[in-house]
Amino acid sequence: MSEKRTEIAELGEFGLIERINIVSPRQNLTSLKGIGDDAAIIDIGQENLLVSTDMLVEGTHFDLSYIPLPHLGYKAVAVNVSDIAAMNGKPEQIVVSLGLSNRFSVEAIEALYEGIRSACINYKVDLVGGDTTASPSGLIISITIIGRAKKDKTVLRSGGHPNDIICVTGDLGAAYLGLQVLEREKEVFRANPSMQPDLEKYQYLVGRQLKPEARMDIVYDLQEKQIVPTSMIDISDGLASELFHLVKNSKVGVKLFEDKIPVDSVAYDTAIEFKIDPITAALNGGEDYELLFTIHPSDFEKLKNHSDIHFIGHMHNNPQQNVMLSKHGTVVPLQAQGWKHF
Amino acid sequence: MSEKRTEIAELGEFGLIERINIVSPRQNLTSLKGIGDDAAIIDIGQENLLVSTDMLVEGTHFDLSYIPLPHLGYKAVAVNVSDIAAMNGKPEQIVVSLGLSNRFSVEAIEALYEGIRSACINYKVDLVGGDTTASPSGLIISITIIGRAKKDKTVLRSGGHPNDIICVTGDLGAAYLGLQVLEREKEVFRANPSMQPDLEKYQYLVGRQLKPEARMDIVYDLQEKQIVPTSMIDISDGLASELFHLVKNSKVGVKLFEDKIPVDSVAYDTAIEFKIDPITAALNGGEDYELLFTIHPSDFEKLKNHSDIHFIGHMHNNPQQNVMLSKHGTVVPLQAQGWKHF
């Protein structure tokens, strides 16, 4: 008798998550929201506690041949802070677990913590606990972050409405293109170790890949302007994939305008150099850690002059119709590729 | 120029933790207690929020050739619940991150989650989030647990006083001996795959290793009897090692009585069979996940008839003198070995 064996790759990451997340009856009234948003929500009285966790695994999420350990530590914290930002919350504490092989010296771990602490200072977060353990191979960093948001200011993926304006911060695709540059330089170096990588031209892209920042500045800007987004998510897997999370949860459809999607000029040129459509890089690249959110049309006036927020489309009432108006005036269906780790 | 390289093994786990835990100035008033107890403490108003995290790595903490996946899932939750119990708290939520190689099928992951969910039901905990990612090799389980305790009922490692009575729950050394049995059977099976392991006799020990329980029952018993321990810790690294944490934090010394240390009879016999001193197994074995706590002498009357709490010694005012009165009437110094993963 052979037991059934289903490969993870058959389901993909999202399919796997759906299959294992059998919703169990809630056992604590304090558990307000579980799996399915950027952070879980726990009731602590006047405020919501926000909890999110991310695991970074060597060989899957990073390659130590090109990311310096302090940058890696910084990034590991920033990606967690980004999840709290995506709930319109304020990060406050992290716990850090490390799995380490004996390949790592004490000095290497100190370099990693240097980056972790630097991010903690920057984002005003306290490192309050953790676990350090041996790993037979490679480095594993697992961080859980705790944040807070006022009850009426907590933003979910599910609050979008038809006619809401879709906003995105910063620019998209650069982190993905930075990764392509790093991978190429690594190959060049392998073939000829005397070659020095010339990354000068790609500095911005490489920086976006190696040292992303969580957009807490935007959370504070929105707060100052007294705007509460109707829905929000951070862009870790690519604009298209995150948009699909918003429309699925908000039960709406979206229409994007290709010419409104922000792409940095170096990212644009580099995409062309790599024979990648710049918009494809922006839609599916991932790891930009920008914020994607929707606002009620009445809030547009207050936000329209913000230098780093772009209005890329709107929501509408047909969930079956997720489209992009291309630069050529044609309407193309949106597709979410996202990251495939498995 | 060569940079200095210090091996982790030179410092050991505790040495490493001390070196990387440079205490940074606190940035959030809500961060009441950071690294250095079983859980961090976060201020949420009337109550304390307790946060703890544990990472289990294949090849370091478990061997899938003898631990069934549902048991592993259960254990991963139980060891986290045990940290909340050690603060005299009530566990409420967990987030679970998994790193998985493609060696694992979807069915295998479902089996792991079956154990996780079973522990959640047993300990009344909600699974509210997580992260699932690919790992180039092996299985990694990282769980962060969130619990609560009343402010005046939260128990630290640091509250012990001279004359406090040292209490321990259950029995000690069995989990370690269960591991020895499993390792031996694995060797026998390797040498001769047609041999069926005979674990019947060692069922209790193997169960203690593969499916430990967090002692939430004791937390509820203490609550019912209106006893707040003066200090508490859970026994993950062995009685001696945990006692040293209590005395170091409470700035006291301890005197143990060898004949009071609870050792199960099968554990005793198996230790002899393995040519291990049963008391050494109890003192240094680890993974028992029992509670070690101290009470004010005036609480002894209320607790003395509890069937599963043992009074093994007392604290005194000389931190330099940590000793055990042996069965032979000699006074021997206590030594903490603990686990060495590195």
- Per-residue pLDDT tens for B115-163? 999 999 999 999 999 999 999 879 999 999 999 999 999 999 999 999 9
Q: Is A152 helix (H, G, I), strand (E, B) or coil?
A: helix
User: What backbone torsions phi and psi does residue B248 show, to the nearest 5 degrees?
Assistant: -65, -45
Residue B11 and residue A49: Cβ atoms within 8 Å?
A: no
Residue B165, token pair as written in the block: 């009575």
According to the CATH classification, is domain B30-153 in 3.30.1330.10? yes
Minimum CA–CA partner of A120 in chain B: B27
How far is the C-alpha of B81 from the C-alpha of B77, rounded, in Å?
6
Picking from A23, A97, A98, A101 by the largest number of B CB atoms within 10 A of its own CB, the best residue to mutate is: A97
Chain A neighbors of B110, CB-CB under 8 A: 19-20
How far is the C-alpha of A291 from the C-alpha of B217, rounded, in Å?
45
User: What backbone torsions phi and psi does residue B67 show, to the nearest 5 degrees?
Assistant: -100, 120
Single-letter amino acid, residue B44: I
How far is the C-alpha of A114 from the C-alpha of A117, rounded, in Å?
5
Instruction: Label the pairing between strands A253-257 and A323-325.
Output: parallel
Residue A323, token pair as written in the block: 């489209």
Residue B51 and residue A144: Cβ atoms within 8 Å?
A: yes
First to last CA, chain B: 28
According to the CATH classification, is domain A165-333 in 3.20.20.70? no
A200 CB neighbour count, 10 Å cutoff: 7
pLDDT tens over chain A, length 342 residues: 457 888 888 887 777 777 777 667 889 999 999 888 999 999 999 999 999 999 999 999 999 998 999 999 999 999 999 999 999 999 999 999 999 998 999 999 999 999 999 999 999 999 999 999 999 879 999 999 999 999 999 999 999 999 999 999 999 999 999 999 999 988 888 888 887 777 889 999 999 999 999 999 999 999 999 999 999 999 999 999 999 999 999 999 999 999 999 999 999 999 999 999 999 999 999 999 999 999 999 999 999 999 999 999 999 999 999 999 999 999 999 976 644 444
Domain boundaries, chain A: 31-152, 165-333
CA distances to A57, B10, B139 from B57, in Å: 12, 21, 6
Residue A40 and residue B117: Cβ atoms within 8 Å?
A: no
How far is the C-alpha of B203 from the C-alpha of B174, rounded, in Å?
10
Spatial CA neighbour of B230 closest among B299, B308, B293: B293
The class (CATH top level) of A31-152 is alpha beta
Angle between helices A69-85 and A216-224 (to 10 degrees): 30
- Per-residue pLDDT tens for B50-73? 999 999 999 999 999 989 999 999
Picking from B19, B57, B234 by the largest number of A CB atoms within 10 A of its own CB, the best residue to mutate is: B57
- Cα torsion angle, B14, B18, B19, B22, sign: positive
Q: Which of A34, A60, A125 shows the shortest C-beta gap to B127?
A: A34
Minimum CA–CA partner of B110 in chain A: A20
How far is the C-alpha of A259 from the C-alpha of B86, rounded, in Å?
57
pLDDT for residue B35? 87
CB A294 within 8 A of CB A164: yes
How far is the C-alpha of B231 from the C-alpha of B251, rounded, in Å?
12
Q: In what order do the strands lie in the sheet with A90-100?
A: A31-33, A40-43, A47-57, A140-150, A90-100, A126-134
B130: Cβ contacts below 8 Å, ≥ 6 apart: A35, A53, B95, B96, B97, B98
Residue B31 and residue A113: Cβ atoms within 8 Å?
A: no
Regions in chain B scoring below 50 on pLDDT? 1, 338-342
Please tell me if residue B125 touches chain A, with a CB cutoff of 8 Å: yes
Place of tokens 């299959």: A19
- Calculate how close chain A gets to B54, using CA atoms only, in Å: 6
Rounded (to 5) percent helix, strand, coil in chain A? 35, 25, 40
Residue B130 and residue A46: Cβ atoms within 8 Å?
A: no
pLDDT for residue B77? 98
Picking from A142, A143, A156, A342 by the largest number of B CB atoms within 10 A of its own CB, the best residue to mutate is: A142
- Calculate how close chain B gets to A302, using CA atoms only, in Å: 31
ipTM of predicted complex: 0.92
Spatial CA neighbour of B123 closest among B157, B51, B75, B54: B75
B120: Cβ contacts below 8 Å, ≥ 6 apart: A24, A27, B77, B94, B126, B127
How far is the C-alpha of B202 from the C-alpha of B285, rounded, in Å?
16
